[in-house]
Amino acid sequence: MIKRIFDLFFSISGVIILMPIFLIVSILIKLDSNGPVLFLQNRVGQYANIFQIIKFRTMNVNQNSNLTISIAGDKRITRIGKILRKYKIDELPELINILRGEMSFVGPRPDVAGYADKLLGDDRKILQLRPGITSSASLKYSNEEHLLSIQKNPKSFNDNIIFPDKVRMNLKYYKNHNIWLDIKIIFATVFRLNY
């Protein structure tokens, strides 16, 4: 209950305070490439319910790819998209997901269906949590796109190394989460600190 009140208060405040930035980013996206300002994608949320995550669009619309991961230097990413991704500005519209109760500030990052389906046994307990904008796993893998870009097989590395490690960290969060841990993770995220 405290977590939800915290999420509501700061997401409402964030949307109001960041409205000028939302407007500027929207204009820059429209000037940089054709397509919508926002990117909507189905993700697996709490209790395995599907919801649409809301982000600023960072990729060209007319790209033929079935990839579910992106790497540094990905040609699909627009010029402004590179900046938005670098500073995580593309994720600011997720404040709307928090307002709607689909996400929280802190929690496991929401996966696409193919990855959430791989969760078995105790690992599925993390689906009892609202997915978050940030997490301890997000902090550890803040350079994920670069890390993937230097692998011979980025998808295999993601599926066999990064994904299982994130699941382990998210399960640890599930077992130990509280409002103070959330504040610590948010603080580390904002100030780009090691966690």
Residue 113: the pLDDT is 86
Residue 75: the pLDDT is 83
Residue 71: the pLDDT is 65
Domain map of the chain by residue range? 2-190
Report pLDDT digits (tens) over 63-100.
Answer: 555 556 666 667 889 999 999 998 899 999 999 999 99
Write down the mean pLDDT value for the chain: 92
Q: Which residues contact 5 (CB under 8 A, 6 or more apart)?
A: none
As given in the structure block, the two tokens for residue 23 are 């407007």
Q: If DSSP codes are grouped into helix, strand and coil, which group holds residue 135?
A: coil
* Average pLDDT of span 96-111: 97
For residue 158, give the DSSP letter: I
User: What CA–CA distance (Å, rounded) separates 8 from 148?
Assistant: 34
Q: If DSSP codes are grouped into helix, strand and coil, which group holds residue 177?
A: coil
How distant, in Å, are the alpha carbons of 4, 21, 103, 170, 195 from that of 57? 27, 15, 19, 27, 28
Best CA proximity match to 142, nearest among 166, 125, 159: 166
- Whether residue 62 is predicted with pLDDT greater than 80 in this model: the reply is no
Query: pTM for this one?
Result: 0.89
- Whether residue 124 is predicted with pLDDT greater than 70 in this model: the reply is yes
